[in-house]
Every structure is written in C-alpha cells, then in structure tokens.
Amino acid sequence: MFRILVADNLPAAVLDRYQDADDLMIDNKAGISKDELMEILPQYQGLIVRSRTKVKADVLAQGQNLKIIGRAGAGVDNIDTAEATRRGIIVMNTPGGNTVAATEHTIALMLSMLRNIPRANSSMREGEWNRKAFLGQELFEKTVGVVGLGKIGREVAKRLRGFGVKLLGYDPILTRDLANRIGVELVDLKTLFQQADIVTLHVPKMPETINMVNSESLKLFKDGAIIVNCARGGIINEQDLIAALDSGKIARAAIDVYESEPPENWDLAKHPKVLATPHLGASTEEAQAKVAGQILDQIQEYVRKDVALNAVNFVSVDEKIQPIIAPYFQLAHRLGRLYSQIQTERLKEVSIRFYGEAAALPLEPMASHLMAGALQRKKGEHSGGNVDFLNMVNSMALAREKGVSIELSKKDTPLTSHTNLIACDFFTEHGKIHLAGTVYARDLYRLVEFDKFRIDADLSGKLVMVKNNDVPGIIGHVGTILGVDHINIGQVSSGRNKDDKTAMNIFNVEGEFARGLQDNIVAEDQILRVWLIEL
C-alpha cells in the first residue's frame, strides 16, 4: 500500500474519490505544522502539497521512505527540487490545471486596475458618490507586453486579442512562427519594456528570472506604464518597484504574488498605487478540484505503471511506450549492476550506445537506469555521500556531480548479430570495460559481449565469471570447486579470444558464495581473474 500524506488543503470531494483505491492510502492532514510534518513523514511514500508547505532540505531529510512529492499546482519553488533529486525523490506538478484560473485572474486585475473598481467599491461602501475621482482608462488599443508565452501567457494573449490590443511578447524558447499564429509580435525584452503600456509577467521563478524587473530594467519602461504580476514573487524587486511607483515612472501595479508569502514587508501590498490580492491566481473551485484530481491521478499512475507524469526532475516516459521500454530499463540496470561488481577503479567516463528498437526509444531514461546500477556500492562497501539515495531519478545528476562524463548515442548498424542492443564502455583510470546486452523475450536478459569476448550469458541471479587461458579442463575444474561448496550450475556460457588465447566462462549458479570461494577458484594457474556477481 502506497501511503500518501496530504499536507495542504485539497477539496474533500476529490479526496473521497480515492479512499477506496486498493493501492493508495491517503491521510489528509491539511494545515499540518512543519514540526508535525517532520515527525510523521518517515511513514509515507508520497507527499502532496500546495504553496503553503515548504519542503526544504531539513524536511526532506526526514523522508527516508519518500518516493514522490506532488505539487497540486504548477510552481515548485516551495520544494527544494535539487535536494529531492539528490535523494532520488520524484517531484511532479500539475501544469495546466490552473491555467484558466490564473489567466482570468490576470485579466480581472488588469481591468479592475484600469477602471479603479476596488477603490470605487470602497468609496461606495463609505456612502460616497464620487464619479470624477475614479476616471479610468480603456484597455482597447493599448500595447500589452506579455513576458513569458507558456500555457498561461498564451491564454492571456488569446483573451487580450478580443479587447483589441496590440500584443508584444517575449519568450526565449517560443518560435516566431508560433507567436505569429497566436497574434503576438515577438520582440526582445528591452523592446517590450520600452514599448508596452501594460506589462504582464508569466515566467517561472528561476535564477534567470529572479529580479527580472529591477531598478535598471524599470528605467526602460514607458513613463506611466502599468505592471501586472500573477506569476511568482521575486520576479519583481519589490523595493525597486515601490521607488518607481513613488516617482511616477510606473503609474500602477497589480500584484498577486510576493517575495515572501504572507509578505514580511507589506509596503508594496499597501501602496496606494497597487492593487493587491493574496496569491489568488489559482484559487477557483474548478482549478483546485482539477489540480487535486490531477496530482492524485499522477501518483496512482506511478504506483500502478511506474510512469512519472509531469515530473520536473526526471525524464518521464509516455504510458504508450512503457511496455516496450520497460524490458530495456531492466537490461540497462543489470548491465550497470554487473559493471559495479567487477570494477575496481574510479569511473571517469561512460559511453552508452543504443541499437535497433532501443535506439527508437527515449535514451536518457534507459541511461538513468544503467547508471543507477553502475553507481551502486558493492555488497559490504562503506556507504557515503550521495550514493545513499541512488536511483534512476538522480543517477545521471549524481554521476555528473562525481565528474563522470556520460555520452549517449543511437546507432543504425547492429554491433553484432543481435539487432536490439545496449552497449556501454566504462572508462576508468586504468582502462576500459565493455559490456553489451540484449533482450530475448519477456524476462530474458542476455550478456552478449564482455570486453573482447562474445558470449551468451543469462543476466540474472548469481554469476561466477572466470577469465582464463584458453586451455582444456577449466570448466571442469571450476565445476568441481563449486560442487564442493554445494553450488549448483544452471548453465554455462563461454567465449574465446584467439588473439591472446584467453577465454571467458560465465556460470549461472544457485547457492551461497562461501568465504574463500574466489581464492579457491583463482588458485588454478591457468585462471587469470574471477568475479562473483549477484544481480
């Protein structure tokens, strides 16, 4: 049973739909304190939050069994994604679930600000009838600059077209052709700031966008421009904006998000030229129900099918190709596990090549399974550092953190007679280890190349791998030693290298490896190396 802790408010009607699920157990503890969360978190495999709960490194340290953090919403800046990745925890969000809500709130703020609706409403409540004090502006024929043309930015642009505005857009990824199709003139950020009457922000919070609007960029704005921010706090430098409002450079601002929430400094929210709301962009009944159901569906999909939809720190695989790629995940992991048990030197570089059917599948997920196996510690080896939390989520990042260079490539020409193949070269400080494997059928994984040897060995269970001079009697000699230790041989695969007159013999065996077994086998003069492998 996959236990999920819900730390923030989700609609009860949505949670009720999952109470009878036979693979999920949901504990609704909305509003839980940080101390309580840290105390009970070890009991759970899944955690669902909105924006209230901060999942930082100290919280994650208590999530020894945590596999998934689900954000019921789009932004994940309240989650330490880097630390979650280091610990092998998938972080997934629900992009698009609140798109309509955030879009409509943006338009609502824009219109309310232009027409002075909040101030007029407050005046009426005081019994005043003061039409002249609330002379407004029309949105019609204004130039509106949309910064960030993702899902929300595009939807905002689509609705603004109906108001007869001129649309400028900035997005470093969007193509000019797509911008033209949605009626937006794509310009650089400087041009947008200089020409827009109204600037509306729709970018994620990341190093490149923090303080995007600051004292220097505000100098570029038209005198009397208007700013709307329904994206993320921290994109605007709040003190710089206050100074621009005070000077009249910026006429007004509509702000829904803040550097800290609730604000530690209320000067911006209480400024007379600011229309402020308490992060209401996604706060509609429809949006909350949608993102709650979406995140629970995604977690259930992961539990049932091992598919991580909308993962922000892991390359997810489409459900349609999951049955095709799953055997290659297994093959890749087993090749990595084999390497981890035969290597003795520090890994410097890995070259992974995919042939046939494997080459037509997403490469990085397969490579992440291979590296998760390759970086595993040997049995009894001292644990240390990031490898304690190793899995397919963080294996590529951890490998690169350790200075391991990883190269992935697709190959059209089969390496051997096997069409569908994963081949990998592990470069260490003292040489190269070459492995190649294939999938015969369901649950049949074969090692077909080991360094210069062509073989056909079952990649499962326990293996005794023996490199020896190519002379008679070796298989019998090893079989006798294994028999003395009550180890049964299931099958043997052999390969020969005529150039240096050596051979590789791989025994698939059953039984316990006794202490001294490796030394007993290698004591024979003609035997060069012995590895005892447990896959």
Q: Is 385 a residue whose pLDDT tops 50? A: no
Q: Which of 153-157, 406-410, 428-432, 517-521 has the lowest mean pLDDT?
A: 428-432
Q: Which residue has the higher pLDDT, 511 or 411?
A: 511
Architecture of domain 2-96+286-305: 3-Layer(aba) Sandwich (3.40)
What mean pLDDT comes out for the span 177-199? Answer: 94
| Contact residues for 329 (Cβ-Cβ < 8 A; gap 6+) | 365, 366, 369, 392
Which residues are tagged catalytic? Answer: 232, 261, 279
Residue 213 scores a pLDDT above 90:
yes
pLDDT at 382 (0 to 100)? 40
Q: What is the mean pLDDT of residues 313-342?
A: 88
Q: What is the CATH number of domain 99-276?
A: 3.40.50.720
Closest-CA residue to 27 (of 311, 36, 35)? 36
Nearest CA to 226 among 179, 172, 165, 183? 165
The pLDDT of residue 378? 60
pLDDT for the residue 235: 96
Q: What is the pLDDT of residues 286-316, one digit of tens each?
A: 999 999 999 999 999 889 877 788 888 877 7
CATH code linked to domain 317-443: 3.30.1330.90
Beta strands in 269-359 (DSSP E): 274-276, 347-355
Q: What is the 3-state secondary structure (H, E, C) of 180-232?
A: HHCCCEECCHHHHHHHCCEEEECCCCCCCCCCCECHHHHCCCCCCEEEEECCC
Q: Is there a shared CATH topology between the 2-96+286-305 domain and the 99-276 domain?
A: yes
Percent of the chain with pLDDT over 90: 75
Q: Are 99 and 294 in contact (CB under 8 A)?
A: no
CA distance 2 to 424: 35
CB atoms within 10 A of CB 425: 16
Q: Which two tokens stand for residue 444?
A: 């049949």
pTM of the model: 0.67
- Residue among 471, 384, 389, 374 nearest 428 (CA): 374
pLDDT at 379: 56
pLDDT of residue 96: 81
Contacts of 310 (CB under 8 A, 6+ apart): 92, 93, 94, 95, 298, 316
Kindly state the tokens that stand for 109.
Answer: 């703020």
> pLDDT band at 100, cuts 50/70/90?
very high
pLDDT number for residue 273? 97
- List C-alpha distances in Å: 529 to 265, 424, 439, 505: 68, 21, 27, 11
Answer for the pair 392, 312: CB distance below 8 angstroms, yes or no. no
pLDDT at 384: 40
What mean pLDDT comes out for the span 12-23?
89
3-state secondary structure of 131: helix
CATH number assigned to the domain with residue range 452-535, chosen from the 4 options 3.40.50.720, 3.40.1160.10, 3.50.50.60, 3.30.70.260: 3.30.70.260
Sequence spans of domains, the chain: 2-96+286-305, 99-276, 317-443, 452-535
DSSP characters over 338-397: HHHHH--S-EEEEEEEEEGGGGGS-HHHHHHHHHHHHTPPPTTPPP-GGGGG-STTTHHH
Instruction: List the one residue out of 374, 410, 422 whose CA is nearest residue 395.
Output: 374
The pLDDT assigned to 377 comes to 67
pLDDT in tens, 236-279: 999 999 999 999 999 999 999 999 999 999 999 999 999 999 99
Distance CA 141, CA 377 (A): 65
Asked if pLDDT for residue 204 goes beyond 90, the answer is no
Task: Name the maximum alpha-carbon separation found in the chain.
Answer: 108
pLDDT of residue 345: 83
Report pLDDT for 387.
42
Give the model's pLDDT for residue 415: 57
- pLDDT tens figures, 457-495: 999 999 999 999 999 999 999 999 999 999 999 999 999
